[in-house]
């Protein structure tokens, strides 16, 4: 009889270790619904010094093409002269420089016609002088997009400056006509012009990308940028050659990235003397400035929406 009671008393313990009781089965059946939680996804901006995300650029490549085409199509919309403005501006500047050169007695290199030398320097300078302010103001002019739609913000200064490459192509066609008029044959080194155009864009974006973020944070730069462009025009060999600059000042002047690039542009077309030291210094400044500008832009990109 005692053994039977022990057997009966051991059964509840077996039920606890084995199959659950009715109440326990009910409680365990409802436990997954009670314990399951919706995962929380937190999106935080990247911090630190971040370079270009090339995968992101590739994913949004069609948007970049659309931005460029949009700016090109809207640039001369509802204008009487349309694309003629692209060649009128350097023509007017060339006429002014030719007129002033008669009083300043600026001698062109290798006894070349002065208009030919000036116009060769105005081609890269027009890309910089127009593209840099446009890139600097690109974030301000697209505030509605910055705050509402996600895309690589770096596209805005790039497309703002890239538009003026089209103007430069039209200007180069006009320059070809000027060379024919003066019966001047371009040198074989003209094949390096695409490299110089790329360096011109790098120099333009080194200023434009950096200033786009600074202009958004400090609106004073809207007034500073045009003043900087005017000053740089006088320290860039557009209407004179590097040979007209005293040698003791060339090293300091080469810190201007357009100083060596503009003169190299003229040298590739006309075969004028190439000042390699000035070119290498200006190119180095342009490349390093571009790298710093991109890192600064990416570091401060997460703050853009807060300053709108």
How high is the pLDDT of residue 65?
Answer: 84
Q: Where are the domains of the chain?
A: 53-298
How high is the pLDDT of residue 298?
Answer: 86
Q: Tokens 């045009």 correspond to what residue? A: 226
Of 106 and 229, more confident = 229
**Which one-letter DSSP state was computed for residue 81?**
S
Burial class (CB in 10 A: 0-12, 13-18, 19+), 275: buried
**C-alpha triplet 132, 213, 71: angle, nearest 5°:** 50
161: nearest Cα among 135, 124, 136: 135
How high is the pLDDT of residue 13?
Answer: 46
Q: What token pair was written down for 97?
A: 């420089």
How high is the pLDDT of residue 265?
Answer: 94
Q: Which of 7-11, 179-183, 285-289 has the lowest mean pLDDT?
A: 7-11
Counting every residue, how long is the chain?
308
Q: Over the chain, what is the mean pLDDT?
A: 81
Q: Which of 145-159, 187-201, 247-261 has the lowest mean pLDDT?
A: 145-159
Band of pLDDT at residue 1, cut at 50, 70 and 90: very low
Read off the pLDDT of each residue in 96-124 and give the average, rounded to a whole number.
Answer: 82
What digits encode the pLDDT tens for the residues 121-179?
999 999 999 999 999 998 888 877 777 777 788 888 999 998 888 888 888 998 999 99
Read off the pLDDT of each residue in 100-108 and give the average, rounded to a whole number.
Answer: 73
**Which one-letter DSSP state was computed for residue 182?**
T
Band of pLDDT at residue 90, cut at 50, 70 and 90: confident
Sign for the CA dihedral angle at 67, 130, 191, 278 comes to: negative
Cα distance between residue 167 and residue 157, in whole Å: 17
Cα distance between residue 34 and residue 46, in whole Å: 35
Band of pLDDT at residue 14, cut at 50, 70 and 90: very low
Q: What is the pTM of this model?
A: 0.79
Read off the pLDDT of each residue in 38-50 and give the average, rounded to a whole number.
Answer: 56
Report how far Cα 77 is from the mean position of its chain's Cα atoms.
24
CB neighbours of 299 closer than 8 A, spacing ≥ 6? 48, 49, 50
């Amino acid at each position: 009889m005692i053994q039977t009671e022990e057997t009966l008393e051991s059964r509840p313990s077996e039920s606890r270790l084995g199959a659950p009781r009715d109440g326990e089965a009910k409680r365990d059946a409802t436990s997954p619904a009670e314990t399951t939680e919706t995962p929380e996804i937190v999106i935080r901006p990247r911090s630190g010094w971040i370079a270009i995300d090339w995968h992101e650029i590739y994913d949004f490549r069609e948007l970049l093409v659309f931005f460029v085409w949009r700016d090109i199509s809207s640039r001369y919309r509802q204008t009487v002269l349309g694309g003629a403005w692209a060649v009128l501006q350097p023509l007017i500047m060339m006429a002014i420089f030719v007129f002033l050169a008669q009083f300043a007695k600026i001698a062109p290199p290798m006894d070349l016609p002065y208009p030919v030398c000036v116009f060769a320097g105005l081609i890269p300078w027009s890309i910089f002088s127009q593209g840099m302010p446009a890139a600097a103001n690109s974030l301000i002019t697209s505030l509605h997009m910055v705050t509402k739609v996600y895309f690589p913000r770096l596209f805005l200064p790039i497309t703002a400056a890239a538009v003026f490459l089209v103007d430069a192509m039209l200007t180069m066609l006009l320059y070809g006509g000027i060379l024919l008029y003066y019966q001047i044959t371009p040198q074989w080194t003209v094949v390096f012009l695409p490299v110089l155009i790329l360096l011109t864009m790098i120099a333009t974006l080194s200023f434009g990308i950096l200033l786009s973020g600074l202009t958004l944070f400090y609106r004073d730069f809207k007034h500073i940028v045009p003043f900087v462009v005017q000053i740089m025009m006088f320290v860039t060999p557009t209407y004179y050659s590097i040979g007209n600059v005293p040698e003791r000042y060339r090293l300091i002047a080469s810190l201007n990235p357009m100083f060596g690039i503009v003169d190299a542009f003229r040298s590739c077309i006309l075969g004028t003397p190439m000042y390699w030291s000035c070119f290498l210094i200006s190119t180095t400044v342009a490349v390093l400035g571009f790298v710093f500008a991109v890192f600064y832009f990416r570091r401060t990109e997460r703050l853009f929406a807060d300053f709108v």
